[in-house]
């Protein structure tokens, strides 16, 4: 009996060794950090007429906001598990590190949400800059990109209670902007590469991967989605692919990532 078992035992050992080798190769190419990430599905009630989700952004805590393909803005209140319809005809929106929400309407007017009264106040009439993309560091500083792909900055003036607007760069093309809570500015340039924007003369390239969307946490950390719908994480000089089939992603100040996949499902990703 032992004579026939010996080859079988060797076979099992060889298979075990092969499995270990495959696992080691997988970890080399997929980084241990991905293994340590917790991924959980967020259950959200269905939207009217199921238009599909275009963008997600997160405020303070676990509340997040969603923009659908029919240009309607919704607010998910996690503590009540309630989805609230907020506005229509929204081109883009953003949430600052302080939880303040800004949006751009289809007529290019920019609004800020009054946190205490749940009202929206216009801060730009859209007649000069024609902004269509927006990112906020906080209520004090916001950045936009206009129809001509120029980079624009809005700074709050406490004395006049208004925002002063100016071109940051009117000579180069920009396709996406993300301002982090530490006020570091990240952009996607004309080559679709990601840069850390220092000033007009200095833009630090941080990737040779072509991206279509980014969201920054601080000067050394940003997430991005490439043109193959892969989600990447950049941390202190290293890029790691952490998920595929992603069309929008955001990150809160605790480093928790929220993603929307191409099936309109929402997931939360955090490190152990």
Report pLDDT for 245: 96
* C-alpha to C-alpha distances, 173 to 94, 135, 187, 234, 250, nearest whole angstrom: 21, 16, 10, 23, 23
- Backbone angles phi and psi of 162, in degrees to 5: -135, 170
Report pLDDT for 46: 64
Report pLDDT for 7: 52
Report pLDDT for 15: 58
How is the chain split into domains, by residue range?
1-30, 37-271
Q: How many angstroms separate the CA atoms of 148 and 129, rounded?
A: 9
Which residue, among 166, 122, 123, has the nearest Cα to 146 in the 3D structure?
A: 166
Q: Which two tokens stand for residue 103?
A: 């949006």
Percent of the chain at pLDDT > 70 equals 83
Placement of tokens 């990430």 in the chain:
37
Report pLDDT for 81: 84
3-state secondary structure of 147: coil
Report pLDDT for 24: 45
User: What tens digit of pLDDT does each residue of 82-140 get?
Assistant: 889 999 999 999 999 889 999 999 999 999 998 776 899 999 999 889 999 999 999 99
227 burial (CB, 10 Å; 0-12 / 13-18 / 19+) is exposed
Question: Cα 207 to the chain's mean position, in Å?
Answer: 17
Q: From first to last of its 272 residues, what are the pLDDT tens digits of the chain?
A: 444 444 544 444 545 555 555 544 444 444 444 555 677 777 666 666 677 899 999 977 778 999 999 999 999 888 888 889 999 999 999 999 889 999 999 999 999 998 776 899 999 999 889 999 999 999 999 999 999 999 999 999 999 999 999 999 888 999 999 999 999 999 999 999 999 999 888 889 998 889 999 999 999 999 999 999 999 999 999 999 999 999 999 999 889 999 999 999 999 998 76
- CATH class of this structure's domain 37-271: mainly beta
- Strand ranges (E), 161-262: 162-169, 176-179, 185-188, 194-197, 203-205, 211-218, 221-226, 231-235, 238-243, 246-251, 257-261
């Amino acid at each position: 009996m032992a004579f026939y078992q010996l080859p079988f035992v060797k076979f099992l050992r060889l298979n075990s060794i092969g499995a270990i080798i495959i696992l080691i190769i997988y970890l080399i190419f997929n980084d241990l950090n991905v293994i340590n990430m917790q991924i959980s599905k967020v259950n959200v009630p269905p939207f009217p007429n199921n238009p599909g989700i275009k963008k997600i952004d997160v405020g303070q805590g676990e509340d997040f906001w969603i923009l659908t393909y029919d240009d309607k803005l919704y607010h998910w209140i996690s503590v009540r598990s309630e989805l609230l319809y907020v506005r229509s005809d929204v081109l883009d929106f953003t949430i600052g590190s302080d939880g303040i929400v800004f949006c751009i309407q289809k007529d290019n007017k920019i609004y800020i949400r009054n946190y205490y009264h749940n009202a929206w106040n216009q801060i730009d009439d859209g007649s000069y800059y024609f902004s269509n993309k927006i990112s906020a560091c906080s209520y004090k500083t916001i950045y936009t990109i206009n129809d001509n792909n120029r980079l624009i900055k809005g700074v709050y003036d406490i004395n006049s209670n208004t925002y002063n607007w100016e071109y940051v760069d009117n000579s180069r093309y920009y396709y996406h902007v993300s301002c982090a809570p530490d006020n570091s500015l990240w952009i996607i340039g004309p080559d679709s590469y990601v840069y850390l924007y220092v000033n007009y003369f200095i833009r630090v390239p941080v990737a040779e991967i072509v991206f279509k969307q980014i969201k920054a946490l601080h000067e050394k950390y940003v997430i991005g989605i490439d043109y193959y719908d892969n989600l990447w994480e950049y941390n202190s000089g290293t890029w790691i692919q952490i998920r595929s089939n992603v069309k929008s992603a955001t990150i809160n100040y605790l480093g928790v990532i929220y993603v929307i996949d191409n099936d309109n499902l929402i997931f939360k990703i955090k490190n152990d």
